[in-house]
Every structure is written in C-alpha cells, then in structure tokens.
Homo-oligomer: A and B are copies of this chain.
C-alpha cells in the first residue's frame, strides 16, 4: 500500500483521450492493491500556448518536480508545423521539459506481439521474437545546440556532446544489456562525425566495466537497414538524440503499430512516461486512437515506482486485449472498438 503523486500532462490532439485510459487502468491498479495515486493535470504544448502563451508553463514544471512520476500524452498541432517562422511552437514545451527535468535517457522497448504480426509491414518470420530496447540520449546533441540564422540568410544547428553526457546514458544502457541478453550496439556515424567518434571512444572506455556485455558498432545508415532486415540481432541499442529519434520511430513498424509502443524518459530528478506516437490531430475526439501505448507507458511508470507486480498485471491485461482483438480500428478494422472501450477492457482485467 503506497501513496504516489502522478502529474498528468495530456497535451494535444489524442494525448488527453489516451491518457484518460491510462488513468483508468492506474485507478484499477490502485483499487486492486489498495494504493493511492493522486493525479493532477497540467498544460503542455499547443493547448498551453493557447491558454498561457507558453508551451511549458512554470506551474507545469513545478508540478512535475513535485511528483513521483509524470504521465505524458503527446504534443503538436499542424497549425504550427507549416509556419517555419512561428516563434513559439508546441515542441518547445516538450524539449524544455526534457532539458529542465534533466531527462537524459529515453528508453523505448520494441516487442513483436504475436497477435499483431499480421499488421506489421514486415514479414512475420523476420520479426517474430524481436525483443530490443533503444536507449536514446534526450537532452544533448543537435536538438539543444546553438541554432539560428546568419547575416547572409543561411541557417545553422550545432551538435555538441560532452563525455559526461555520453557516460551517464552509456552506463544505463550497459546495465540494461547486462540484465538482458548482454549485447549492446552503439549506433553512430563515426566515419563522418566528430561527436560520433567521441561516443565510440567513451563507449570503448566504459565497456571493460561490463565484461559480460558484447559491444558492437553500427553506422546509422546501416542500422536503419539492419533494424528492418533482421531486428532479432539486436538487444540494447544505444544512440544519440537525433539518430535515436529516427531509429526508434522506424523500429515501431516491427510492432505493427505505433499505438503499442511506450517509452520512459528518465533523469536524476524525475521520470516521464509517454507513448512514442504523436498527437495525431486528425484522430482527435473520434474515439479511434489506440490507448495501449499510453497504458503500457503507465506499466513502465509502475515499474519505476517499484510496483513490479502491478506493472506485470497491466501488461498481462494488455495481452488479453491483443489476444481477444479488443482493439482500435488500425489493428482491428473489421470489428473495431473505441479508445474508451479498449481502456475499459484492460481496466476490467486488472
């Protein structure tokens, strides 16, 4: 019996509706185990800009810091995407949150669910059995370097990495590999980039501290192929921010739907749990958004709170939904269930 404060940041688009289902499932967990989860809801993204002019209000940041864990929906609105000159953008809220809360490691497990093999664009024999996890650095690199315009109209973005930034996430990735199949793959572009060469150096230095973990190195262009050709070869993949953004979204095709993939963004202070899918504004309010990624993010949140048995139960309930095809239209086009129904079904199994 524990009491925990969970800050909810539903965000934009389908964020609020999928978060609602995750809360429903967490409420069911609380009831079953006699825990108390105290939820408070806060603005982030386009809805925060609309309400306050700021994509990440101070109040939201304070609430995250005061919480035991954060559950995040999604942010983004097309009205900002096609205006390259917009000064305030929803994404700034997300990036600022990562930076301010020091969420340096984004952890994305990718599993090929048996019930969903037929939905993947990949042939089943290539993906069945895939079980990998991507460690993406989240507060450094080209995302957070200097950027701007020069007098002649050209634009720049600077990518920088310090040894310390690489070391802390590398240790997390090595520890994960050590507890899994003991294989770590660094994805970089060391044949071109100086920052990648530093990543290789630091990983080579750290490797001897994890003598049981086999390390190999893959250029990002090759990794983008290998992850499709033979995803089963990977256990833990470690990479920098921009490459991680690309590779992890790409890897989602293995699961047959982005709507299945959770993530954790961890730092020294607090951790944020969020589906890897975006705000999918076209689907907003239609009841077609898949809540399972948000629900599986809630399972990762439970793990983070030390509630492993509860987390496992949530995953088993999700498996029930998959096995019994209680799924939103992208995974069950012939007899689809709504966002709400899928959430309730999972909660029912808790």
Instruction: Choose among B159, B163, B191 the residue that contacts A156 (Cβ–Cβ < 8 A).
Output: B159
CA distance A249 to B189 in the complex (A): 13
Within 8 A of B (CB), among A124-171: 126, 142-143, 145, 147-149, 152-163
Stretch at the interface among A64-72, A221-229, A283-291, A301-309: A221-229
B250 with A228: CB separation less than 8 A:
yes
Closest Cβ–Cβ distance, residue A274 to chain B (whole Å)? 14
A159 with B159: CB separation less than 8 A:
yes
Closest Cβ–Cβ distance, residue A232 to chain B (whole Å)? 11
Closest Cβ–Cβ distance, residue A237 to chain B (whole Å)? 14
CB contacts (< 8 Å) of A156 on chain B: these are 145, 158-161, 194-195
Known contacts: A217-B82, A250-B250. The answer to whether A197 contacts B122 by CB under 8 A is no
Within 8 A of B (CB), among A255-293: 258, 278
CB contacts (< 8 Å) of A200 on chain B: these are 82, 84
CB contacts (< 8 Å) of A191 on chain B: these are 76, 80-81, 89, 91
CA distance A160 to B159 in the complex (A): 11
Say yes or no for A252: interface residue by CB 8 A criterion. Answer: yes
CB contacts (< 8 Å) of A145 on chain B: these are 156
CA distance A194 to B147 in the complex (A): 6
CB contacts (< 8 Å) of A143 on chain B: these are 192
B158 with A162: CB separation less than 8 A:
no
Pick the most buried of A155, A248, A249, A250: most chain B CB atoms within 10 A of its CB. A155
Say yes or no for A61: interface residue by CB 8 A criterion. Answer: no
Q: Mark contacts of A49-83 with chain B using CB atoms, 8 A cut-off: 1 yes-contact digit, 0 otherwise.
A: 00000000000000000000000000010001110
CB contacts (< 8 Å) of A190 on chain B: these are 81, 84
CA distance A247 to B247 in the complex (A): 10
Residue of B nearest to A250 (CB): B224
Say yes or no for A88: interface residue by CB 8 A criterion. Answer: no
CB contacts (< 8 Å) of A157 on chain B: these are 158-159, 193-195
A81 with B154: CB separation less than 8 A:
no
Within 8 A of B (CB), among A205-231: 217, 220-222, 224-225, 228-230
CB contacts (< 8 Å) of A245 on chain B: these are 189, 220-221
Instruction: Choose among B122, B198, B224 the residue that contacts A121 (Cβ–Cβ < 8 A).
Output: B122
Say yes or no for A242: interface residue by CB 8 A criterion. Answer: yes
A163 with B153: CB separation less than 8 A:
yes
Say yes or no for A115: interface residue by CB 8 A criterion. Answer: no
Say yes or no for A30: interface residue by CB 8 A criterion. Answer: no
B201 with A225: CB separation less than 8 A:
no
A246 with B217: CB separation less than 8 A:
no
Say yes or no for A95: interface residue by CB 8 A criterion. Answer: yes
B142 with A193: CB separation less than 8 A:
yes
Say yes or no for A114: interface residue by CB 8 A criterion. Answer: no
B155 with A195: CB separation less than 8 A:
yes
CB contacts (< 8 Å) of A84 on chain B: these are 190, 197-198, 200-201, 204
Closest Cβ–Cβ distance, residue A146 to chain B (whole Å)? 9
Q: A153-B163, A157-B159, A159-B159 are in contact. List 11 more A-B contacts (CB 8 A).
A: A76-B191, A81-B191, A85-B197, A91-B192, A121-B228, A122-B122, A142-B193, A149-B194, A154-B160, A156-B160, A157-B195
7 A-B pairs in the complex with CB atoms less than 8 angstroms apart: A95-B192, A121-B126, A153-B163, A155-B195, A158-B159, A224-B246, A228-B228
